[in-house]
Amino acid sequence: MKQDLIQKAARDILRSKKTVAFTGAGISVESGIPDFRGAQGLWKKYDPQEYAHIDAFQKDPAKVWLMLKEMFALILSARPNPAHFGLAQLEEMGLLSSVITQNVDGLHQAAGSRNVIEYHGTHWTLSWLKCREKREARSLRLEDLPARCPKCSSFLKPDVVFFGEPIPWRAQTLSFHEAETSQAMLVIGTSAAVYPAAALPMRAKERGAMIIEINKDPIPSIDLLSDYLICGSAGEIIPAIVGEIRKSRGEEPEPATA
């Protein structure tokens, strides 16, 4: 049954004139970064509404930095998994137009994806809250954080979109364009509960795209939209789809990467 759906996804991607991927925290779980709603990790300890809201950061940056430092350490040491590599291969094969990601971990780019739209920003750069000057995450030492700007004295904040902050205009515009002009959308490892990101699969569907969902658990809100769900881990399913595509093109399977 699952194998049938994997073969169907391969055929649908080959048939589609434009396919985009919309990814969430679930695709990075196999890289060791916990998702929001999963049973384990960070978000059991830190309530996202309390720690990931811009009001909380402005009120008490030092408190929010307790959570940010843990996230930072995880992201800096994480490596892409076979799901990230599989999407990069699809792009390389000319079968994936873009990856719209809600993730802030940079793992799609690390795997080789080139057209990545970071809908919720990135942890890899930070800006001082007032003067907006940027710093590269790699240039900072974890033990020096949280840090204040020597010029404007505001706190450094990762360039991620906190709850209560607007989506960067370019990411918003590009994502909706990609969704509206796609014929197929792969919705991977997201509970699609965070808006406005969650509106992207809806918009794609309204404009006639096929929605192929890949998720560990069925999610009622996306299941209503999706044409079919391939239930399981993204790190297993995406490379299997790429393998089917290669097989149907008579190509050799790609050696495993991780």
Q: Please state the closest distance from residue 41 (CB atom) to ligand NAD, in A.
A: 9
Which positions are annotated as active-site residues? 120
Closer by beta carbon to ligand NAD, 154 or else 257: 257
Residue with smallest beta-carbon separation from ligand NAD: 26
b/e for 42-51, b at 16 or more Cβ within 10 A? bbeebebeeb
DSSP 256: P
> Contact between 194 and ligand NAD (CB under 6 A)?
yes
Among 215, 229, 230, 244, which residue sits at the site for ligand NAD (rule: CB under 6 A)? 215
Residues 34-53 that bind ligand NAD (CB under 6 A): 35-38
What is the distance between the alpha carbons of residues 49 and 46, in angstroms, rounded to a whole number? Answer: 9
> Contact between 105 and ligand NAD (CB under 6 A)?
yes
Give residue for tokens 């904040």: 157
Closer by beta carbon to ligand NAD, 165 or else 180: 165
Burial class (CB in 10 A: 0-12, 13-18, 19+), 252: exposed
Burial class (CB in 10 A: 0-12, 13-18, 19+), 83: buried
Query: Which of the ranges 2-10, 53-61, 149-157, 227-235 carries the binding residues for ligand NAD, by CB under 6 A?
Result: 227-235
Tokens of 62: 């030092």
Q: Please state the closest distance from residue 256 (CB atom) to ligand NAD, in A.
A: 17
For 150-187, give the DSSP string: TTT-PBEEEEE--BTSPPPHHHHHHHHHHHHT-SEEEE
Cβ(200)–Cβ(179) below 8 Å: yes
Q: Please state the closest distance from residue 122 (CB atom) to ligand NAD, in A.
A: 9
Tokens of 11: 């055929």
Tokens of 220: 């009622």
- Site size toward ligand NAD (CB under 6 A) is 29
**Residue 22 half-sphere exposure toward CB, CA atoms < 13 A:** 35
Query: Which of the ranges 27-35, 60-68, 86-94, 146-154 carries the binding residues for ligand NAD, by CB under 6 A?
Result: 27-35
Tokens of 237: 């399913």
Query: Which of the ranges 14-22, 25-33, 125-133, 246-254 carries the binding residues for ligand NAD, by CB under 6 A?
Result: 25-33
Closer by beta carbon to ligand NAD, 17 or else 105: 105
Query: Which of the ranges 23-31, 146-154, 170-178, 249-257 carries the binding residues for ligand NAD, by CB under 6 A?
Result: 23-31
Residues 134-153 that bind ligand NAD (CB under 6 A): none
Give residue for tokens 């992201």: 75
Q: Please state the closest distance from residue 17 (CB atom) to ligand NAD, in A.
A: 26
**Given the rule CB under 6 A, which residues bind ligand NAD?**
24-26, 28-30, 33, 35-38, 102-105, 120, 189-194, 215-217, 219, 233-235
